[in-house]
Amino acid sequence: MDNLVKETNTNDRQEKRDKLTRNLYSLPAFGSAASMAFFSSYLGMLFTDIYMIPVVLSGVLEMMRSLIGWLFGPTFGIFLDRVTLKIGKYWPWVLAGTIGTNVLTVITFVLPSMTDTPQKFAFLVFVLGILIALFTPLLSISLVSFYPRLSSDPKVRSYLAIGQKVGRDGGKTIWGLIVPVLLVHYTKAGGSDAAGWASTAYVIGAFTIILNAGYAFILKGSSIEKEAIAAKYDANTKKKPQIPLSAMLKGIVTNKALLSMFLFLSIHKIYYFFQILTASYFFKYVTQDFSSMGTFMLSFNLCAVVGAVFGVVWVKIFKDSKKAFVAGGVVHIIILGYMTLFYKGMSTGVFIIVAGAASFFAGVIEAYLMPMFAAASDWGMWKTGVRSDGISMAVFSLCITVATFFSTLIRTALLAAAGYDGAAYAQGAMPNEAVLNVIGNFQTLYPFILGIVAFGIVLFFYPMDDKKLAKIKEEIDAGRVGELANKDAINIA
């Protein structure tokens, strides 16, 4: 009887821990939002206006970081699918990725405050960038890899995705207001821009590490971790032959749903990064109202958060996730088209409102984005019989890396071609008309064109809908996967 009571209590505690792990899944997104609001948003300007690195070299540094992450991210996803450490499968990498990424990034932002000639640190910054690119996937890939394991229910997955969006963009909204205040305060207190950026980096880095490390230790006690460790030492598991790496990769490259979402999200994030990472240039040089930068970030991110929450209602109108996704994209594109045609005649306030409306519908699709990737992973499991969430969901994070690389490449090339000169502007010169036009296009024309391409890919090539996903789940639950799968029952090429 005592053993039964103990077992019941143990099960109750485990259920509570698993519920906590699931409910707080958005916590790392909220923690990392602080880093995005400062480190990511201000990195380009840090290189050109603080380090005084020429815009071309600055772009090369950012692209090298992206390229390394591009290669290492999927590699780490494969590693996660095939390797479990003695102490756990996911939480050690969440912790290591959080600490490594933030400590190295803080150092990058602090170095200029230590000298009057920050240009001499260019090579060191390059090395730090490589290390950051290696540590970042440890966090991002680990978090998305166990997402499909938190729940197989599409509604729960959608709510988790919304929570991610709220945590990430809600956090960026809050920190988007706080960061400019911190910069002004610490710049005044420290007597220079470099000192202000350094002090702000300490605050942001500490906050992110504390929150993400806290979630790592919550994850440590979850069933996800315990089952992974048990599987590692299970005698039957040891006797099973290791799935060939070639078979895993073949399952990925033949997954039409996954490839469609990869192309969509990569293109979508390219123009998202255009808007976010050139916003500081836009408000400093185009509107000449840099004080509105905080308001823009508040509106842009808050509208996306509200849009993600509204996604629950939006899908009820269209009765299907893919239809709701595409419909939200169409409205998003229409608004971007309006911005492209009329932004030069808009006041700063009107521009912020219209950009917020476009961001709202970009937020709507976030309610279905991660679930559509998870559905593609389910499809891979059904077709091949191999559960490879690590590499499948690594594609989700890979999109961000690919987008960062190409957005930086395009941004650098266009600014350099237009004659951008950060050193001259720091001395009081103003950009020429060509530079101003390019900066404006990063907010309007380029997102409009790329948006059409991105949502067109989903409309014409993403093969899944909610009915097909439900059927696939039935097949998986019945054990009809891989060679036993009834391919004729579900019409997906």
Place 29 in a pLDDT band, splitting at 50, 70 and 90: confident
Nearest to 260 by CA among 214, 326, 308: 326
Q: What is the mean pLDDT of residues 424-435?
A: 80
Please check the confidence at residue 169 and state whether its pLDDT lies above 70: yes
pTM over 0.75: no
Whole-number Å distance between alpha carbons of 244 and 1: 47
- In terms of pLDDT, which residue wins out, 55 or 463? 463
What are the tens digits of pLDDT across the range 316-338? 898 888 899 999 999 999 999 99
Please state whether 419 falls in left (phi above 0), alpha (psi between -120 and 50) or beta: left
Place 385 in a pLDDT band, splitting at 50, 70 and 90: low
CB 394 within 8 A of CB 145: yes
Residue with tokens 């290591």: 96
What are the tens digits of pLDDT across the range 60-86? 776 777 677 677 777 888 788 778 888
For the chain, give every domain's residue range: 20-231+243-484
Whole-number Å distance between alpha carbons of 21 and 214: 11
Write down the pLDDT at residue 448.
96
Please check the confidence at residue 133 and state whether its pLDDT lies above 50: yes
Per CATH, the homologous superfamily of domain 20-231+243-484 is MFS general substrate transporter like domains (1.20.1250.20)
Whole-number Å distance between alpha carbons of 293 and 283: 6
Three-class secondary structure of residue 88 per DSSP: strand
Task: Identify the weakest region by mean pLDDT among 354-358, 364-368, 478-482.
Answer: 478-482
What are the tens digits of pLDDT across the range 186-224? 888 888 878 888 898 899 999 999 999 999 999 998 988
Place 235 in a pLDDT band, splitting at 50, 70 and 90: very low
CB 162 within 8 A of CB 367: yes
What average pLDDT does the chain have?
Answer: 82
Q: What percent of the chain is modeled with pLDDT above 90?
A: 21
